[in-house]
């Protein structure tokens, strides 16, 4: 009898520990998503300090899941730790932005080349539907929020996924992706070019559809290079 009770208690304890662990993981993941979106959209402003006590109180969570969430966001490059200061939201500089776009140009060019080799018919049809939706969106909102798409709704994201290269996907869809989203949301686009960007997306997709790897890479690199040039002009105008 006693041995049966002991086994039942051990089983209940393991179940309870597992439930607590799963609950903490869920809280950590929810906090991670919140922090990412808040930083990307600017509700947690660039340069602001990440206060663990404040966030723990706000979300009524223990410091464990919160610290894990902060570490995840730090791994995405959205938070940086400064000696004697602590964790802060990153602040974009023109130099960092140009470095980001230089890396993006090379890697996304490679992704487009590989997508031309590996993309499936279903993925092509989905991308064609996506660009059709984007075209209607630009007409309806005059292009003002064309650059705010993300996740599966983002043309570049889907091209990267279609490359089938796990290293490229990890770099571009995780480590660099949210930094780019942060820029898109927070930097004013006085020189936005939504119609031209959409046309360039259509040319890239056609090259991928034709299986023309070299052209797909060239067009993608040219597309991102054009965006970088606009950013440089805007920075020059603003600083001038």
CATH classification at residue 71: 1.10.10.10
Banded model confidence at residue 60, pLDDT cuts 50, 70, 90: confident
- At residue 117, what are phi and psi to the nearest 5 degrees? -90, -35
203 and 120 assigned to the same domain = yes
Residue 184 structural domain:
94-239
Number of domains in the chain: 2
**32-36: long-range contacts, CB 8 A cutoff, minimum separation 24:** 32/68, 32/69, 32/72, 32/73, 34/59, 35/69, 35/70, 35/73, 35/78, 35/79, 36/73, 36/76, 36/78, 36/178
Contact (Cβ atoms closer than 8 angstroms) between residue 109 and residue 217:
yes
134 and 216 assigned to the same domain = yes
pLDDT tens digit sequence for 26-53: 677 889 999 999 999 899 999 999 988 9
Q: Give SS3 for 48.
A: coil
114 and 232 assigned to the same domain = yes
- pLDDT, position 96: 87
- pLDDT, position 174: 84
pLDDT at 138 over 60: yes
64 and 122 assigned to the same domain = no
Comparing CA positions, the residue from 118, 104, 194, 206 lying closest to residue 156 is 104
Name the residue with higher pLDDT: 169 or 141. 169
155 and 234 assigned to the same domain = yes
First to last CA, the chain: 84
pTM of the model: 0.79
64 and 106 assigned to the same domain = no
pLDDT tens digit sequence for 156-214: 999 999 999 999 999 998 888 889 888 878 776 555 678 888 899 999 999 999 999 99
Structure tokens at 165: 């290269």
99 and 197 assigned to the same domain = yes
Could you tell me which residues come within 8 angstroms of residue 32 by beta carbon, excluding any fewer than 6 positions away?
Answer: 68, 69, 72, 73
């Amino acid at each position: 009898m006693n041995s049966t009770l002991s086994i039942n208690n051990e089983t209940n304890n393991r179940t309870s520990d597992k439930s607590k662990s799963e609950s903490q993981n869920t809280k950590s993941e929810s906090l991670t998503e919140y922090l990412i979106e808040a930083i990307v959209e600017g509700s947690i402003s660039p340069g602001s300090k990440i206060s663990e006590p404040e966030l723990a109180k706000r979300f009524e969570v223990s410091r464990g899941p919160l610290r894990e969430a902060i570490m995840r966001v730090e791994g995405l490059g959205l938070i940086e730790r400064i000696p004697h200061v602590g964790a802060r939201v990153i602040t974009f500089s023109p130099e960092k932005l140009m470095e980001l776009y230089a890396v993006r140009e090379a890697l996304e060019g490679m992704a487009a080349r590989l997508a031309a080799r590996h993309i499936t018919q279903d993925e092509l049809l989905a991308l064609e539907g996506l660009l059709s939706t984007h075209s209607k969106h630009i007409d309806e909102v005059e292009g003002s929020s064309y650059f705010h798409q993300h996740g599966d709704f983002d043309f570049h994201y889907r091209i990267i996924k279609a490359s089938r290269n796990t290293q490229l996907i990890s770099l571009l869809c995780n480590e660099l992706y949210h930094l780019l989203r942060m820029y898109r949301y927070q930097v004013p686009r006085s020189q936005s070019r939504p119609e031209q960007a959409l046309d360039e997306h259509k040319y890239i997709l056609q090259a991928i559809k034709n299986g023309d790897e070299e052209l797909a890479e060239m067009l993608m690199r040219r597309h991102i290079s054009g965006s970088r040039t606009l950013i440089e002009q805007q920075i020059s105008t603003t600083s001038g």
